[in-house]
Amino acid sequence: MRRQLPPWAMGLAIAPLGFYYGFISAAMPILLSARNVSVEDISRVSFLAFSPTYWAFLLSPVLDIGFTKRTYALLFAALAAVCLALSTLLTANLVAFTAVLTAGCTAAVLFGNAHQGWMPDVVSDHYYSQVGATTNIANLGAAGLFTTIAVVLVRTLPPVAAAVLLALTVVAPTVLLFFIPLPDRRTRGALETFRTFFQDLRRAIARPGSILALVCFLSPTACFALTNLFSALGVDFHTPESRMTAISGVGVAIACSVGCLAGIWLTGRFQRRKVYLLTGFGGAAAALGLIRVPHTFVFLAVGVLTYVFFQGINYTALSSLCFEIVGPANPLASTQMAVLSAAANVPITYMTRVDGHFHTVCGLNGMLLVDAGSSIVVGTVLLIILRRFAAPGTPASGQKMSATAQLGG
């Protein structure tokens, strides 16, 4: 009998997605900054490269056709690894670099959707917060570690050797997929799967609770878009590339992982929707703090690590909430998880672009003020709306709630 991973370890198998996101959000800005690419141009590349995180869900029904989740996950992880390797060889051509990076992100998103849609069928609801936490440790923590790996390899090895090693690093964690059980699932035809997907999507959007959920996920509060630009701010904080790599790599990995673990405790005692929104206020406070302090490496490090600590809590709350919404024995689990993830990723992409533009127009402080202000203002409005529409008698903490109650429906 094949050995099976414990629930917490199953979440770690999503690390290839974290590696790819880490390259786009932190390693890519460092590598392009070294070529004197502006923060606004870097934000434009990031906006395009991350765009599949909110439109690739339209492709996700293929994950419910024919093959197993494991097969699809292995295939798309391999495609993402190849694209990432090729992109490191194209940094001198910004158009080609962006196109290949975007194609790879599409594959990485589909890999993540396959993994996430797999989990509710093999993990009981008692372990959702644990799997949500370790999923985000593997996602955010791996992103930070891969930043350091990518920059060091690109800087020290010949281009082709660095590219090959980076690709192998991306696919290495997929060995864990062979130790996750596969649920029994009937084979579905393409026509049936896509037709059911759009019918299910229409029904889900029509429900008041789902509308409020999408409003929360699509809003700019608690999206933590500055994470995609921090590593490009070395000049603003008079910090050399080596230190930016350290803080954006190992530092972010540790802070995010600690935040993810703290999220287990918080989501077990408070409503997940409130934890999700309130972390945005913590990130805003960290951004506002960077406006007031001297622009040196020490204060940058404290601000960035505080910011990503709240991001880790936020992602645990988001993941555990999404698992509960999808639930077990759902024939369209990957598709529905993809829709929820897409909604949460939309503000990351548009706020990255907005932040980059304000950095060019108003400088560092203008960018930080706009990002923090949008989180505070919109987050306050959403908390008022959710309080207004929350069902009477909704538990205040710890107790198990329905998905719509969690989201204020």
Q: What digits encode the pLDDT tens for the residues 192-205?
A: 666 676 776 676 56
pLDDT of 392 reads: 41
pLDDT of 409 reads: 31
Q: How confident is the model at residue 400 (pLDDT cuts 50, 70, 90)?
A: very low
Residue 349 lies in a domain: yes
Distance CA 19, CA 1 (A): 31
Residue 2 lies in a domain: no
| Least confident among 109-113, 196-200, 270-274 | 196-200
Residue 313 lies in a domain: yes
Three-state secondary-structure class, residue 186: coil
- Helices 128-136, 252-267: axis angle to 10 degrees equals 170
Residue 184 lies in a domain: no
Q: Based on the structure, what is the number of domains in the chain?
A: 1
Between CA 195 and CA 207, with CA 201 as vertex, the angle to 5 degrees is 140
Q: Please give the average per-residue pLDDT across 18-45, as a whole number.
A: 86
Structural domain span for residue 254: 7-177+190-406
Residue 399 lies in a domain: yes
Choose among 56, 57, 48: nearest CA to 99: 48
pLDDT of 265 reads: 87
Q: Which residues does 278 contact at the CB level (< 8 Å), separation at least 6?
A: 379, 383
Q: How confident is the model at residue 159 (pLDDT cuts 50, 70, 90)?
A: very high
Question: What share of the chain in percent tops pLDDT 70?
Answer: 84
Given a contact cutoff of 8 angstroms between Cβ atoms, the answer to whether 253 and 309 are in contact is no
Q: Please give the average per-residue pLDDT across 326-338, as a whole number.
A: 63
Residue 262 lies in a domain: yes
Q: How confident is the model at residue 133 (pLDDT cuts 50, 70, 90)?
A: confident
Residue 185 lies in a domain: no
- Both tokens of 72, joined, read 């699809």
Residue 37 lies in a domain: yes
CATH for 150: 1.20.1250.20
Under DSSP, the state recorded for 178 is G
